[in-house]
Chain A
Amino acid sequence: MRRTRFSVVAVLAAGALLAAACAEETTGGGGGGGGGQEEPNDLLAEIQSRGTLRVATDPQYPPQSSLNDETSEWEGFDIDVATEIATRLGVDVEFVTPGWETIIAGNWQDRWDVSVGSMTVTPERDEVLHFATPYYYTPAAVAVREEDAATMTDVATDFDGATIGVCGGCTYEFYLDGSLNIPGEEIEFVIDDAEVHTYNTDVPAIKDLEVGRLDAAISSLTTLQGAQDEGSAIEIVGNVFYEPLSVAVDRNFSLDPERFVAELDRIVQELHSDGTLAALSEKWFGQDLSAKT
């Protein structure tokens, strides 16, 4: 008897725990049924009546997006840009952290509204996602260990057949396998027959380079410089291509996203013209990458 009572209490307690955990979540649930008198009729209206913009970010990508454990908050260039966008929409910002593969695959099931994650526009991604005007541009650069910097100097010639690490599902991987296509960019595939190692994010690739498992790593210039700032003994050899990075919205929302995308476009252009993006870029990258060079 006592044992049954105990297990009933335990089950109830667990149920209460789970109910509490559920209650914290405001990111569950689909687009319909926000607050307010009228039914929101598209995504923008829904966001505004909800009062919060849900932004997807992959927090394993410093200095664009990472965890500040002193404040227990996300920080980085992308984080600041997303916060700024939300402010200009007149709502609060909330971050969700699914994996990168989940974000670029589209079909978000309305779990978040927008990705501000330094995403490069490619035709494949364009099929499932709307892209707004690019908010900054980075070179994709090649890095080697410091001690190899003397011998491996020319991107066009010294890296054929090398073992190169990149983040999986990123443009750097597509560059190495020759499939990269960025609308409006002319890409020269100068590295032939590289042995490609993919990682679920950039930092492990850089670490493997440091250790010697790789001859080189390709990532955004900003990330490589960020690593150097933290003491990574790598040298940046040169750039291989130039990528425009944009915020992205799922094409497949249950509510119409058209007006929302147009609004994002307008805000990004505003952020360019009033110098906000330039300022944030200086803050995080030490240089202004917001304009195309």
Chain B
Amino acid sequence: MEVEKQIGGAGATRPPGFPEGGLTRWQRVEQASLRVPFRVKLAVVWLAVLAVLGVLFALVQFDLGWMAEHIRFISLGIPFTLLISVSAIILAVVLAVLGSLARLSRNPIAFGLSGFYVSFFRGTPLIVQMFLIYLGLAQIGGNLQTMGYEWGGLLILEGLLAGILALGLNYGAYMTEIFRAGIQSVAHGQAEAAQALGMSYGQMMRRIILPQAVRVIIPPTGNEFIAMLKDSALVSFLGTVVSQMELFRRAQLTGIADFRPFEALVLAAAMYWALTTVFTFFQQRLERRMSRGYVRAGSFQLGGGAGGHAG
């Protein structure tokens, strides 16, 4: 064809759009590249990234021996990271169910309280909330005791518990919005059909709306859990007992003890990355299962856009 004649050849007329001298180098590269499958290109990219990381590693000059010695100790923090995350997410879900129903309610008390809750816990940094709960509740508890109320002692929480409480409250506020959007995503006609049968509001929610909302809510909740795995590290700032230290605290203390904070933190980063990767894998499978055979085209997509945490 015309193209064949042009390459390397001068003279004959060219179709418009072709530069002098035939295909440009870039165009030739493009043509060749089209023949290489996507997966292969992806593998090449990954290898390149790993190679760059390898070079960076070598430049930093890690004490790899130290890392090998201490990796086991640091990894023992993983169960506590999971404990914190699971406990906090359960608290957050409970708060989100109550909060979302309150946001949809016409009751001024419910609507007002939930509005305040969501605004405050989404409007202040998580670390600030942790300290407020850890220090503030203890202060209130101490003062109550001084005033003679012994039960004030219950407010003086350990670091771990204060951290879980703060995480639960914080994530509950974000998830309130997710749950609310999920409930509202259930088509209005469902509520009408339930009402037409004579169901009360409570029956309608419990039997018809919430079961359908749950399917939409589960995937973004999974995302929140993955984010929480990382935020659990902030609990370490509240100071914890040796027997309850989570991943970051262990890395922090071991590293500082041997004047190798960086090596320790790299190990911690790798472990967090592994954790989130594993859960993300299951999360994606869950999302695919939830949308199969149920939601048709035009399904309501809830993700980071509906008020969840970034990443």
Chains A and B touch (C-beta atoms under 8 A apart): yes
B254–A22 CB distance below 8 A: no
B26 within 8 A of A: no
A21–B256 CB distance below 8 A: no
Known A-B contacts A24-B241, A32-B145, A254-B146; the reply to A66 vs B153 at CB < 8 A is no
A102–B135 CB distance below 8 A: yes
A230–B258 CB distance below 8 A: yes
A21–B239 CB distance below 8 A: no
How many whole Å from A8's CB to the nearest CB in chain B? 11
A30–B156 CB distance below 8 A: yes
Of the candidate stretches B27-35, B158-166, B296-304, the one touching chain A is B158-166
A68–B257 CB distance below 8 A: yes
A62–B259 CB distance below 8 A: yes
B262 within 8 A of A: yes
Which residues between 34 and 64 of chain A lie within 8 Å of chain B, taking CB atoms?
Answer: 59-62
Apart from A30-B141, A66-B256, A111-B156, list 19 A-B contacts with CB within 8 A.
A17-B87, A24-B241, A24-B244, A27-B158, A28-B158, A33-B150, A60-B252, A60-B256, A62-B258, A62-B259, A67-B254, A69-B70, A69-B250, A72-B73, A72-B242, A74-B242, A98-B238, A107-B139, A207-B261
Known A-B contacts A60-B253, A254-B146; the reply to A227 vs B211 at CB < 8 A is no
Write out the residue numbers on chain B whose beta carbons fall within 8 Å of the beta carbon of A107.
Answer: 139, 142
A25–B87 CB distance below 8 A: no
A28–B153 CB distance below 8 A: yes
A226–B259 CB distance below 8 A: yes
Write out the residue numbers on chain B whose beta carbons fall within 8 Å of the beta carbon of A170.
Answer: none
B214 within 8 A of A: yes
B259–A18 CB distance below 8 A: no
B185 within 8 A of A: no
Which residues between 100 and 152 of chain B lie within 8 Å of chain A, taking CB atoms?
Answer: 135, 138-139, 141-142, 145-146, 150, 152
A287 within 8 A of B: no
Write out the residue numbers on chain A whose beta carbons fall within 8 Å of the beta carbon of B153.
Answer: 28-30, 32
Write out the residue numbers on chain A whose beta carbons fall within 8 Å of the beta carbon of B73.
Answer: 69-70, 72
CA distance A25 to B211 in the complex (A): 39
A184 within 8 A of B: no
CA distance A139 to B41 in the complex (A): 60
CA distance A70 to B257 in the complex (A): 12
Query: Which single residue of chain A is at the shortest CB-CB distance from B262?
Result: A207
CA distance A148 to B237 in the complex (A): 35
Write out the residue numbers on chain B whose beta carbons fall within 8 Å of the beta carbon of A60.
Answer: 252-253, 256
**What are 21 sample pairs from A and B whose C-beta atoms fall under 8 A apart?**
A11-B90, A14-B90, A14-B91, A18-B87, A21-B244, A25-B241, A27-B241, A30-B150, A30-B152, A60-B252, A69-B74, A69-B250, A69-B257, A96-B241, A97-B241, A98-B238, A109-B156, A111-B156, A232-B259, A254-B142, A254-B146
Known A-B contacts A21-B160, A60-B252; the reply to A30 vs B83 at CB < 8 A is no
B94 within 8 A of A: yes
Per the CB 8 Å criterion, the residue count for chain A at the interface is 49
Residue among B70, B145, B237 with max Cβ neighbours from chain A (10 Å): B145
Q: Which of A11, A95, A109 contacts B142 (CB 8 A)?
A: A109
Write out the residue numbers on chain A whose beta carbons fall within 8 Å of the beta carbon of B290.
Answer: none
CA distance A10 to B160 in the complex (A): 20
Known A-B contacts A59-B253, A67-B253; the reply to A30 vs B161 at CB < 8 A is no
How many whole Å from B154's CB to the nearest CB in chain A? 8
B239–A18 CB distance below 8 A: no
B146–A14 CB distance below 8 A: no
B86 within 8 A of A: yes
A206 within 8 A of B: yes
Q: Say which size band chain B's interface belongs to.
A: 35 or more
A203–B256 CB distance below 8 A: yes
Write out the residue numbers on chain B whose beta carbons fall within 8 Å of the beta carbon of A97.
Answer: 239-241
Give me the interface of B with A, judged by CB distance under 8 Å: 70, 73-74, 83, 86-87, 90-91, 94, 135, 138-139, 141-142, 145-146, 150, 152-153, 156-161, 164, 211, 214, 237-244, 250, 252-254, 256-262
A118 within 8 A of B: no
A99–B239 CB distance below 8 A: yes
Residue among A95, A203, A226, A254 with max Cβ neighbours from chain B (10 Å): A203
How many whole Å from A187's CB to the nearest CB in chain B? 28
Q: Which of B160, B239, B259 contacts A206 (CB 8 A)?
A: B259
A78-111 toward B: CB 8 Å interface, digit per residue (1/0)?
0000000000000000011111001000010111
Write out the residue numbers on chain B whose beta carbons fall within 8 Å of the beta carbon of A68.
Answer: 257
A3 within 8 A of B: yes
Write out the residue numbers on chain B whose beta carbons fall within 8 Å of the beta carbon of A61.
Answer: 256
How many whole Å from A172's CB to the nearest CB in chain B? 17
CA distance A111 to B86 in the complex (A): 27
Query: Which single residue of chain B is at the shortest CB-CB distance from A17?
Result: B87
Known A-B contacts A28-B158, A33-B150, A254-B146; the reply to A62 vs B256 at CB < 8 A is yes
CA distance A223 to B241 in the complex (A): 24
* Shortest 6 CB-CB contacts between residues of A and residues of B: A66-B257, A109-B142, A69-B73, A67-B253, A98-B239, A230-B259
Write out the residue numbers on chain A whose beta carbons fall within 8 Å of the beta carbon of B159.
Answer: 98
Q: Which of A21, A32, A102, A230 contacts B161 (CB 8 A)?
A: A21
Write out the residue numbers on chain B whose beta carbons fall within 8 Å of the beta carbon of A227.
Answer: 259
How many whole Å from B130's CB to the nearest CB in chain A? 12
